[in-house]
Structure 1
Amino acid sequence: MKNRFSKSFIILGIGLILVLGIFAFVKTKTVYAQKGVSKFQYLEIFSDALDIIERKYVEPIDTKKLIQGAIKGMLNELDPHSNYMDEKSFENFKTEIKGEFGGLGITIGIKDKVLTIIAPIEDTPAYRAGLKAGDKIIKIDGKPTSNITIDEAVNKLRGTPGTSVTITILRSSMQKPFDVTIVREIIKVKTVKFMKKDDIGYLRLTQFNESASSELSEALDKLKKDGVKGLILDLRNNPGGLLDEAVNVASIFIQPGKTVVFTKERNEKNNMYLKSKNMSVSEYELPMVVLINGGSASASEIVSGALQDYKRAVIMGTTSFGKASVQTTFNLSDGSAIKLTTAKYYTPTGRSIQGVGIKPDVEVKSGEIVYKEDNMNIRESDLENHLIGDEEKKNITNNQISDNKTINDNITFSDLDKIDFDKDLQLKYAYDFLKGILIYGKKTN
C-alpha cells in the first residue's frame, strides 16, 4: 500500500455550502442537474439532517463527532479496506508503518461482518497467547464488537504498555467462545528472521514495513557468505504492508526491469506498471521455495504472485488470503486522514487474485509431524559379532569423542527462535524439495 502523505483531501463542510449563498448554490446545482448528478441535492439532505439533530436531539451534541461519524459511514459503504482515521488513529498508523507501536501484535480485518484476526505477528503478546489467523473477536473487554470499525477496534486493543485487555474469541475448532487476557507491550516488529540448515537458507518475512527489503538484503548477504545453495522464503501469516516494499523484495529475486505488479485505477489512464529494480543483493540463480497460507495477504501475494508467474520459485503451502487492492492515504486538514482503495493490482501475467488468492504450485496442508519409533526392526548393526564397516568405525569414533552432539548441530540461528524443520510439515516439504533439486543438479552422466 503506497502512502502519499503529501496529498490532501479537503472535506466539503456544511458551512461552505451555506457560505456559497442561494444564487451560487442554485446555479451550481443546476449545472450538476444538467449532467445528471444529484450530489448537491444529497448534501442538502445531509445539511437538513444535521440541522435537525443539532436542534432537536435530547442532549447537546458534538458536531465534529457527528461529521466524523458521517465520514466513517461513507467509507464503510465502500469496501473493508477503506476507512477513516481520526488524529490518534492516523498517528498510530504512521507509527505502525515504521515497525514499532504499542499493543497486542495482531492484524485484524472485517470478515463476514465480524472482527477477525488475519494474522498474529510473531514475538508479540498475541502470538504468545496462542491467537490464530481466522479467530473471531466477538468482544473486547466484555463489549460486543458487532458493527465496530477497524480503527475503533485498533484504538480499543492498543493502549499503555503494561495494561491488559480481555478479548473474547470464537474459534471454529472450539464449541464455545473463550476469553483471553493479554498484557499490552511496545511492539517492536523484527521484520526478517533467518537461519541456515545444511546448505539451505531459511528467511521469514513477517511484514512489509519500511525496513523489509533492506533487512532481507542483509540477511541474504550473510547467508550467501555462509554458502547456501537454496532458499526458503516464508511468507506465512504475513499480512502485507507497503506496495513499494513488495516491489523491492521481489526485485531481490527477479532480474531488473521486469514487471512485478501492475495496478488499474478507475481512470485507466493512471494505470501503473511497477518494475523490478536493480537491488544490491541479487539471488536469481538459487533454487527457491516460497511458503504461503491463508494469512499471507496483500504485499505477500504480490511477491509470491510475481515469483510464480516468472517461475522463479515454487510456491508451496495453502491458498493465500486474496487481497488484490491498493490503498492510498489522504491527509485531511484537521490532522485526520482517509485510507481509500484507489486501484486493483494484477500479477505480471494479468491475473487478478482478488477474492481467490494465490494458489500454491504444491499444496501442503499445515501440520506437525509426529514420529513414532519403530523398535521392531532389527538392523545389521544389532546382530552380535556383525562385520563392522569403515563408515561405522568412523561413527563409533566420533561418538566417543563427542557424546553431547545433537541432531541440530548443523543449524545456525539469527536469534532465539526455535524453527523445527523436522516437525513443521510445510517447512519440511520445502526443505526436502530443495534438497532433492540440489542432489539432482549434481547428477553425473
Structure 2
Amino acid sequence: MEQQPRRKSWVVGPMIALALLCGVVIGKGWEPTGHARETYEELKTFSEVLNQVQKHYVEETKPKDLIQGAIRGMLGTLDPHSAYMTPEMYKEMQVETRGEFGGVGIQIGVKDNRLSVIAPIEGTPAYRAGIKAGDFITKVNEDSTKDLSLMDAVTKMRGPKGSKVNLTIQRDGTPEPLVFTLLRDTIKIESVKSKMIDNLGYVRLTQFQEATGRDLSKAIKQFRDQKVQGTILDLRNNPGGLLTAAVDVSEQFLPSGKLVVYTKSREGKKDEWFAKSKDQLE
C-alpha cells in the first residue's frame, strides 16, 4: 500500500518545467511524433491555460499553487488512492505511521465517491463523541468534502492539541445531518492489542505501522509462554498502512522462504518479499 511519495513530491514539479522547456526546444528544432506529439500538444494547452489564469484571473495567483493544484487534479483522475503529497504532507504521513499525531482519531477512506469513516480509533475524541464506522463526512468546519482528496481531508482534520474542529456527518438511517464539535488531542495509536480469551490468544491489528511487526512478535511470544491452544488474528476495520509492516506481520505465520507478496509494474518488473522468520507461529 505504500509507495515513495517524497520522491514524487519533489520530482513531479521539475518534470513539468522540464517538459515545458523541451516543448520550446522541440518547436524550434524538430517535430515530435506519436506519443511525444500528443504529450507536447497537451502540455502546450496546459501552458496556455496557466498563462491566461495568471494574466486575467480576478485575483493574484501564485504559479506554485496553480501547478500543484493541477498535479493534484491529474492524480485525482487515476483512482481514490493516488495522491500528490507535498513535503509537509509526507512528513505528516510519517508521523502517523510512527503512531502519534494531533487530531480527532478517525481512520477515513472513500466509499461511493464520498468521504467515509472506516473506524474511529478507540479512546480518541471521535470515538468518545460517538462517530461510527460507515458514517459519511460531508463537511469539515464549513468546507464541503465533495471532491476533496484523502490527503486534503486528513490535513483539515489534523491540528494542535486543544483546538476545535466541526464535522458534519451523514449517517444511514438518520434523516438530518449530525454535527460533532471535537477537541483535538494527541492521538497515540497502538496498532497491536492482545489478550487471552479462555485458552486462546486474541490479537487485533488496527493498522500497519513501523512497529507493528515487532509488537506482534512480543504478543506471540506471550501466547507461546502461556501455551495457548490457538490464536485469533483480528483485522476488522484495518485500513492498511506500510507494505513492509504487512510483510513483517505475514512472515510470522509463514515458513521461511515463502513468498508473501509481490508488486508488478506496467513494464512487468516485479519486486518480491519473502518470509525470513524461522520461528513462525504454529
Is this contact kept in 2: 1:193–1:205, CA < 8 A?
Answer: yes
**1:55–1:241 Cα change, 3 Å:** same
Kindly indicate whether residue 127 of structure 2 is the aligned counterpart of residue 127 of structure 1.
Answer: yes
Structure 1: how far apart are the matches of 2:16 and 2:254? 51
SS at structure 2 position matched to 1:175: coil
Percent of aligned pairs with the same amino acid: 41
The aligned counterpart of 1:137 is 137
Structure 2: how far apart are the matches of 1:23 and 1:6? 29
1:107 aligned partner, one-letter code: Q
**1:71–1:10 Cα change, 3 Å:** closer
Report the aligned-residue RMSD. 2.2
The aligned counterpart of 1:332 is none
2:197 aligned partner, one-letter code: K
**1:67–1:173 Cα change, 3 Å:** same
Is there any run of 5+ residues in structure 2 with no aligned partner, and where? none
The aligned counterpart of 1:275 is 274
Structure 1: how far apart are the matches of 2:94 and 2:2? 12
1:174 aligned partner, one-letter code: T
1:1-40 equivalent positions in 2, closer than 5 A: 1-4=1-4, 7=7, 9-12=11-14, 16=18, 19-20=21-22, 22-27=24-29, 30-31=31-32, 33-34=33-34, 37-40=37-40
The aligned counterpart of 2:167 is 167
Q: Which has the higher mean CA deviation after the structures are superposed, 111-120 or 217-226?
A: 111-120
Structure 1: how far apart are the matches of 2:137 and 2:6? 35
1:254 aligned partner, one-letter code: L
1:221-260 equivalent positions in 2, closer than 5 A: 221-260=221-260
Is this contact kept in 1: 2:5–2:90, CA < 8 A?
Answer: no
Which one has more relative contact order, counting CA pairs under 8 Å at least 6 apart? 1
TM-score (norm 1): 0.59
1:11 aligned partner, one-letter code: G
**1:191–1:38 Cα change, 3 Å:** same
Kindly indicate whether residue 93 of structure 2 is the aligned counterpart of residue 93 of structure 1.
Answer: yes
The aligned counterpart of 1:358 is none
TM-score (norm 2): 0.91
Structure 2: how far apart are the matches of 1:208 and 1:18? 40
Tell me by how many angstroms 1:134 deviates.
Answer: 1.5
1:283 aligned partner, one-letter code: L
Is this contact kept in 1: 2:5–2:84, CA < 8 A?
Answer: no
**1:26–1:140 Cα change, 3 Å:** same
Q: Which has the higher mean CA deviation after the structures are superposed, 39-48 or 189-198?
A: 189-198
Structure 1: how far apart are the matches of 2:251 and 2:18? 47
Is there any run of 5+ residues in structure 1 with no aligned partner, and where? 285-445
Structure 1: how far apart are the matches of 2:23 and 2:196? 71
Structure 1: how far apart are the matches of 2:220 and 2:15? 52
SS at structure 1 position matched to 2:186: strand
Structure with the greater alpha carbon radius of gyration: 1
The aligned counterpart of 1:290 is none
Is this contact kept in 1: 2:13–2:67, CA < 8 A?
Answer: no
1:67 aligned partner, one-letter code: I
Tell me by how many angstroms 1:132 deviates.
Answer: 1.9
Is this contact kept in 2: 1:14–1:47, CA < 8 A?
Answer: no
SS at structure 1 position matched to 2:46: helix
SS at structure 2 position matched to 1:48: helix
**1:210–1:80 Cα change, 3 Å:** same
Structure 1: how far apart are the matches of 2:27 and 2:200? 69
Number of aligned residue pairs: 280
1:177-192 equivalent positions in 2, closer than 5 A: 177-192=177-192
**1:84–1:266 Cα change, 3 Å:** same
The aligned counterpart of 1:154 is 154
Q: Which has the higher mean CA deviation after the structures are superposed, 196-205 or 140-149?
A: 140-149
SS at structure 1 position matched to 2:69: helix
The aligned counterpart of 1:72 is 72
Structure 2: how far apart are the matches of 1:34 and 1:79? 26
Q: Which runs of 4+ in 1 moved over 3 A?
A: 2-8, 12-28, 34-37
Structure 1: how far apart are the matches of 2:206 and 2:172? 25
Structure 1: how far apart are the matches of 2:164 and 2:28? 55
Is this contact kept in 1: 2:137–2:168, CA < 8 A?
Answer: yes
Structure 2: how far apart are the matches of 1:263 and 1:21? 34
Tell me by how many angstroms 1:231 deviates.
Answer: 0.7
SS at structure 2 position matched to 1:115: strand
